[in-house]
């Protein structure tokens, strides 16, 4: 079972349910530093909940500063109430792989599954080890 890390938030429990329904093991951590440790231990994705500390600020540096090899082997997802799911330009600006509108949280598991498959295919040509890690 592939592990997904949720960075704190009041709605983390609802997200856990959506992820579990798609076959993911979801754990909640209170900080980006702990999320980074989970990625180093094999988690395939980090979901930043709306109530988490400011994404992009100094608290997020443990994830934003991951070495390229580690970053290729995980998916960063930002759940944002004002976002449009799949907005690639805003995801790029936020330095995440996937941007998800809070209203689409019930579909988080299926969105994550599709994003992992796409990233695995792209990364596989450059870094087969990271691609295998995305498979879980």
For residue 28, list its beta bridge partners: 6
Widest Cα–Cα separation across the chain: 38
CB 15 within 8 A of CB 49: yes
pLDDT reported for residue 53:
85
Going from the first residue of the chain to its last (136 residues), give the mean pLDDT of each consecutive group of 10, the final group possibly shorter: 88 87 94 97 94 88 95 95 88 93 93 96 94 86
Could you tell me which of 77, 80, 67 has the C-alpha nearest to residue 115? 77
Q: For 103, phi and psi rounded to 5 degrees? A: -65, -20
**Count H helices, E strands: the chain?**
7, 5
pTM equals 0.92
Provide the 10 A C-beta neighbour count for residue 85. 18
State the residue range of the domain holding 28: 2-135
Number of folded domains that form the chain = 1
- What is the H or E stretch that residue 75 is in? strand 75-80
In terms of residues, how long is the chain? 136
Q: CATH number of the domain that 47 lies in?
A: 3.40.50.2300
């Amino acid at each position: 079972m592939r592990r997904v890390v949720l960075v704190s938030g009041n709605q983390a429990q609802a997200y856990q349910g959506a992820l579990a329904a798609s076959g993911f093991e979801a754990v909640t951590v209170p900080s980006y530093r702990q999320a980074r440790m989970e990625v180093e231990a094999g988690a395939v994705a980090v979901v930043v909940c709306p109530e988490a500390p400011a994404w992009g600020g100094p608290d997020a540096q443990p994830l934003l500063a991951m070495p390229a090899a580690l970053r290729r082997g995980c998916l960063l997802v930002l759940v944002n109430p004002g976002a449009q799911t799949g907005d690639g330009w805003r995801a790029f600006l936020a330095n995440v792989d996937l941007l998800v509108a809070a209203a689409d949280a019930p579909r988080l598991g299926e969105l994550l599954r599709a994003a992992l498959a796409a990233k695995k295919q792209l990364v596989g040509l450059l870094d087969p080890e990271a691609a295998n890690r995305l498979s879980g």
